[in-house]
Amino acid sequence: MLSLGGGNHFLRSQLFHSVPSFFETGLPIDDWIAIVAFAYFGFITLKEAYELAPEEKGGELVDAEEALSTVKDPVENVVALIIQTFTLVFAAEFGDRSFLSTIALAAAQNPASVALGAIAAHAIATTLAVIGGAILSKYISEKTVGYVGGSLFILFAALTAIGLG
């Protein structure tokens, strides 16, 4: 759920693989774009991790607890939170492979069963991500996650470039 661009990766990748034949030059344009994108995201992520201030004990947890302590009407806030969460997930997943697969499956099968299965799968995946993130956040700092993520992006750029050779 980092961005709409990430959610629409599938559509863009298919666009580059579906170029009309008169545009084909033998150059793997989509691979070069992937290399540039991986390298760019890698260096940006590493830069952001480097610029993060050293974290105090409990960093983001303390910030979250402070934000929750200022809540005035919990019921009103829950409705706003549900709407905000739904909107964010919808925007992030719009155009994603799982989104398009669910639409195709619903067209071919019972839509109610597909919807129920998709909701259950999303709930399970989200629960595992939240629990896993909560456990890992006790041992790994945000700065470390940034360094690892940025390094992986650069590794993917290098591996994609090696695959062209």
pLDDT of residue 75: 67
The answer to whether position 77 is within a domain reads no
- Closest among 156, 152, 158, 161 to 45, alpha carbons compared: 152
Question: Which residue from 156, 162, 147, 165 is spatially nearest to 34, judged by alpha carbons?
Answer: 156
108 occurs within a structural domain:
yes
Write down the pTM of the prediction.
0.54
* 90-146 pLDDT tens trace: 787 777 777 888 888 888 889 899 999 988 998 999 899 999 988 988 899 889 989
The answer to whether position 133 is within a domain reads: yes
Query: Which pLDDT band holds residue 79 (cuts at 50, 70, 90)?
Result: confident
Domain containing 133: what range? 99-140
